[in-house]
Amino acid sequence: MKNKLYDNADSFAMSFDEEWGKIVCDDKSLKIEKVLEVLSDHPFLISNSENAKKLAEFRVFSLKKF
């Protein structure tokens, strides 16, 4: 299941979290952009890029997950 990507926010969030941990960058906004570049082929990012970016920002800034 880990290698399967789905066109939904949950799948995107899991992929985002995984990639976030791999990228070294002190600027959180820049790091979000770098993760989005890595995930550019994710179905949710392709079909709903605006919400994918909002979800990424929410995870980093609102949830203080990282």
b/e map 32-53, b = 16+ CB within 10 Å: bebbbeebeebebbeebeeebe
Q: How many domains does the chain have?
A: 1
* pLDDT at site 64: 85
Dig out the tokens for 41 from the structure. 């082929």
54 within a domain of the structure (yes/no):
yes
- For residue range 8-53, list pLDDT tens digits in order: 999 999 999 999 999 999 999 999 999 999 999 999 999 999 999 9
- When the pLDDT of each residue in the chain is averaged and rounded to a whole number, the result is 94
> What would the pLDDT profile of 52-63 be if each residue is shown by its tens digit?
999 999 999 998
Which of 42, 39, 33 shows the shortest CA–CA distance to 7?
A: 42
Q: Which domain holds residue 56?
A: 27-66
Is 17 among the domain residues?
Answer: no
pTM, two decimal places: 0.91
